[in-house]
Every structure is written in C-alpha cells, then in structure tokens.
A = this chain, B = another copy of it.
Amino acid sequence: MRIVLIGAGNLATQLGTALVRRGEDVVQVFSRTEASASALAGKLRCEAVTDLDAVCRDAELYIVALKDSALSALAASIVKGREQALFVHTAGSLPMSVWEGIAPRHGVFYPMQTFSKQREVDFSRIPVFIEANNADDCRRLKALASFLSSNVREADSAQRRALHLAAVFACNFTNHMYALSAHLLAEAGLPFDSMLPLIDETAAKVHVLSPSQAQTGPAIRYDENVIGKHLDALASHPEWQDLYERISKSIHNDKLRSETN
C-alpha cells in the first residue's frame, strides 16, 4: 500500500518507522518545517515535501498526524485532487466527522501511546483503535494496524474521546507526578533513580489489582499528621502544595465512595 505521512512529529516518526520496518511503502513525508520533514524522510528513506502541492496524488492512504488545529485548517487542502484515496487522522481527541464533506473515504487510526522522538517504542503492544466511514476501509485499516500491533480494536468517536481523556490521566498526569517527585528529590540532593523501583511496582500492581484496591499511603486514611508535615515541606512551592492537598482529598473521597458502594 502506497502511504503518505502528513506530519513529522513524535507520532508520525514512530508510526512511520514501524510501517517501514513492516515493509509498507511510505512514499513521502510532508511537514511545513523542512528540518522535520527531512529528518523523518531520511529515516524512512523516502521523499520529504514541504509544499502541499508537491504531495503525490496517487497514494492509497494518507495518514494525517498533525496538531488538531493544523488538521482542521489543512484538511480541505490535503484532500483536494486526491478524493479517491483513504484519509485518516491519528488523534484521540478529534471525531471522525472532521473529514465529512471533505474526503469521501475517511477514518481514524489512533495508536494510544506516548511517543517521543528519542525513544523507539515496541509497536506490537500498542492498542490501535480504528474507525472508518465504510466497512471496506475499516477492514483495510484493521489489516494494516494488525501488521503493526497485536492489539487492534474498533472504537467509535465517543469511545475514542473517553480513551483519550483517560489516557491523559494515566500517562500525562502520571508523568507529571514523576516530574514533581524528581524536582523534590533534586532539591534534597537525591537522585531520581532511587524512585524507579517504586514507579515500576506502582505500574505493575494495577495489572493485578484495580487502582482503587492498589492505593496505599497517607491520603487513603487521610493521616492529618503526615499530610500536615508534607504540606509544610511544600510551603515554598504553593502550586505543588495545592496539588498535594487536592489530590490527597480526592484519594480519600475515592475511598469513601468505594466504601459506600
């Protein structure tokens, strides 16, 4: 399948790498930023394009991995003159309907993972959620996704919106808790790597216990003595102190709710 990647960010980089590794024919990478287009095209050994008019018209699949706002602004220009092809975006947060009235054949290819350019991920374990506006293209996208991952499911736009919101909590917000932990350790002259066994075990536990069952620590019993000392220790960081107090209360409320259910 002749594929064009529109976008050269973290997701496009990891997805393009996985596609090429599986023998798919990625023919072009488009990005308005020449350096980004060239870097990814070089990696995938294909052509870099910075002008939409130079994007080929005979690909079968255009994978659009742009920021939501850029996608909305560019969708019509991307499709124009290529109406026979299949267009998908990769965003958890955008409904499939962004393509309506623009591309006759369209869908969504959402790999739910955190992608950084510096770190190659094992695509085979990434859940990929597929949606398309016709059954043939849905089959086609599922077949392509199944080349890359053993974890492919269909999800409509409402489910994908819920997945994306849940992923922000489980990934981005979790990572911020790591970041605040790292800052606090750095201030005390302690290395972050002492926290890694705890981080790993916290993630491993929710494979076998529900997160609510797995919860431990001062907040679950609202231990005012410990919590008070921690709030004092955070006095020079009002933003983190405020988060500490609100998250602790939310943990305690979660516990109370589970007890009354």
> Which residues of A pack against B, CB within 8 Å?
10, 67-69, 93, 112-116, 118-119, 121, 125-127, 151, 153, 158-159, 161-163, 165-182, 184-185, 187-190, 192, 194-203, 205-221, 223, 225-226, 229-230, 233-234, 239-240, 242-244, 246-247, 249-251, 253-254
Q: State in angstroms the CA–CA spacing of A114 and B159 once bound together.
A: 32
Are B206 and A187 within 8 A (Cβ)? no
Q: State in angstroms the CA–CA spacing of A14 and B178 once bound together.
A: 25
The interface residues of chain B lying within 8 Å CB-to-CB of A177 are 169-170, 173-174, 177
Q: State in angstroms the CA–CA spacing of A234 and B40 once bound together.
A: 37
Q: Which of B165, B168, B175 contacts A211 (CB 8 A)?
A: B175
The interface residues of chain B lying within 8 Å CB-to-CB of A234 are 165
The interface residues of chain B lying within 8 Å CB-to-CB of A247 are 173, 176, 243
- With A233-B165, A243-B246 already in contact, the answer to whether A195 and B170 are too (CB < 8 A) is yes
Are B250 and A127 within 8 A (Cβ)? no
